[in-house]
Amino acid sequence: MKEGINPAQIMIGIIRLAINTKDSHSINSAVGCLRYLLGPMPIDARAEGVTEFIAALSTEGITTLMALDALAMACKACDLIDAAGFIRISYLSLKARTQRIF
């Protein structure tokens, strides 16, 4: 993020990560991502390489919730407090939704 990538660009990759992952946890997270994240955050798909990199993390066992948590911490470290707060709330909402399923 210190190199000019914004949270909205990373969020597109996280949504792709959720959609590309086939387990029920991530499928439910993908629905949540679309509902909770696309509404209030602007869509910025200009960083296609970043999107593809994040989406490919599913092969390494990275989940949607892990990626959201990392993004929230990165936003906080870069003093993007509003984005960090919003992403953290989304993370907690998705976590609560997926825990009820199991």
Distance (Å, whole) CA 57 – CA 60: 5
51: left (phi over 0), alpha (psi -120 to 50) or beta: alpha
User: Which pLDDT does position 22 carry in this prediction?
Assistant: 62
Q: How many CA atoms lie within 13 A of 55 on its CB side?
A: 14
**C-alpha distances in angstroms, 86 versus 7, 41, 51, 90?**
11, 9, 20, 6
Among the listed residues 64, 82, 60, 62, the one whose alpha carbon sits nearest the alpha carbon of residue 7: 82
pLDDT band at residue 45 under the 50/70/90 scheme: confident
* pLDDT tens-place string over residues 65-80: 888 888 888 888 888 8
The per-residue pLDDT of the chain, averaged, comes to 76
pLDDT band at residue 100 under the 50/70/90 scheme: low
Q: Spell out the domain ranges in the chain.
A: 7-96
